[in-house]
């Protein structure tokens, strides 16, 4: 998996969040102005043709990085129908009032109720996916934003928190500068993975490592995330010559896709790093 893909997905989510904030604020302005119908239509168009497509693009990129945002994609597909049905229901209801038609007024009201229900379901699925992303990137602001996105009336606050959180996540994902080490100072040690390891939702990773000598594993981190543990969560953390069955206890994991392969970087006591691959089960 590429960090660049994560960065692109996060930037797209930030862009989508901004458009949700703008469209929602325009909708609020429409409620208190004399041009409410025109302004509401502008907000409706921005949501339908700008914000939601950008959000779907972001979720599709996250899916390529192995993050489970399928609920968010489903929610982004449901949300436009909710807005459309609310819009049509409102028009039919207004026509019913002017035409003094109880049937049209009731039908329009029922459509609005159905649209609001679909809008809530869509927001729920989207919010859950953003919550999972927040847990995945260990961003409190993002997962709180995901929860608030679910709540009607204050969901724009969730989009604001999501927008703000992304800069911090991007900063923490930026790679640290690499300081070259003279080749002569690196010991000639061979450490590599034997087969493919496993990774489970409770954070337990199991793998086999071959080592040509005895040395320690100092830390392990899941690539493209902020999830990392030190030697005290690794058993055994001292590798002996030959094959070693190693268990790593990460925190409970969310947002990972079953069957996908994730890369983990191990830092050894001699300064070497070893990349291993684990299948999420």
Please name each of the domains of the chain with its CATH number.
1-173 (no CATH), 191-280 (2.60.40)
Average per-residue pLDDT in the chain? 89
pLDDT value, residue 183? 44
Q: What is the pTM of this model?
A: 0.75
Phi/psi of residue 161, nearest 5 degrees = -65, -40
Q: Which residue has tokens 């034997």?
A: 194
Average pLDDT (267-278) is 92
50 vs 138, residue with greater confidence: 50
- How high is the pLDDT of residue 273? 92
C-alpha triplet 56, 137, 218: angle, nearest 5°: 145
Which residues lie across from 204 on neighbouring strands? 249
Peptide bond into 46 cis (omega under 30): no
Q: Which residue, among 10, 3, 7, 4, has the nearest Cα to 162 in the 3D structure?
A: 10
Q: Which residues on neighbouring strands pair with residue 263, listed in sequence order?
A: 277
With a pLDDT cut of 70, the percent of the chain lying above it is 92
**Torsion (CA) 61, 63, 68, 69 in degrees, nearest 10:** 50
Q: What does the pLDDT read at residue 200?
A: 95
Written as one string, the DSSP assignment of 179-239 is PP--GGGS----EEEEEEEEE-TTSEEEEEEEESS-EEEEEEEETTSS-EEEGGGEES-EE
pLDDT attached to residue 175? 57
- What average pLDDT does the segment 219-234 reach? 92
* pLDDT band of 84, cuts 50, 70, 90: very high
Confidence tier at 41 by pLDDT (50, 70, 90)? confident
Per-residue model confidence (pLDDT) at position 35: 66
């Amino acid at each position: 998996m590429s960090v660049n893909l994560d960065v692109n997905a996060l930037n797209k989510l930030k862009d989508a969040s901004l458009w949700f904030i703008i469209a929602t604020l325009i909708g609020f302005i429409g409620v208190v102005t004399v041009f409410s119908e025109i302004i509401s239509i502008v907000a409706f168009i921005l949501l339908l043709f700008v914000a939601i497509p950008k959000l779907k693009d972001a979720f599709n990129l996250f899916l390529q990085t192995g993050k489970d945002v399928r609920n968010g994609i489903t929610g982004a597909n449901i949300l436009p129908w909710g807005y459309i049905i609310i819009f049509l229901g409102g028009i039919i209801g207004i026509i019913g009032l002017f035409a003094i038609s109880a049937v049209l007024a009731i039908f329009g009201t029922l459509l609005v109720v159905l649209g609001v229900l679909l809008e809530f379901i869509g927001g729920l699925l989207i919010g859950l996916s953003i919550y999972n992303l927040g847990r995945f990137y260990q961003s409190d602001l993002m997962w709180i934003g995901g929860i608030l996105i679910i709540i009607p009336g204050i969901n724009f606050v969730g989009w604001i928190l999501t927008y703000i959180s992304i800069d911090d996540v991007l900063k923490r994902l930026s790679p640290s500068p690499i300081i070259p080490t003279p080749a002569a100072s690196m010991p000639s040690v061979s450490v590599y993975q034997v087969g493919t390891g496993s990774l489970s939702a409770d954070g337990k990773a199991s793998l086999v490592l071959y080592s040509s000598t005895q040395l320690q594993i100092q830390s392990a981190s899941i690539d493209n995330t902020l999830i990392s543990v030190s030697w005290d969560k690794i058993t055994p953390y001292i590798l002996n010559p030959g094959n070693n069955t190693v268990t790593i206890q990460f925190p409970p994991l969310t947002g990972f896709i079953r069957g996908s392969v994730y890369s983990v970087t191990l830092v050894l006591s001699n300064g070497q790093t070893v990349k291993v691959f684990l299948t999420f089960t």
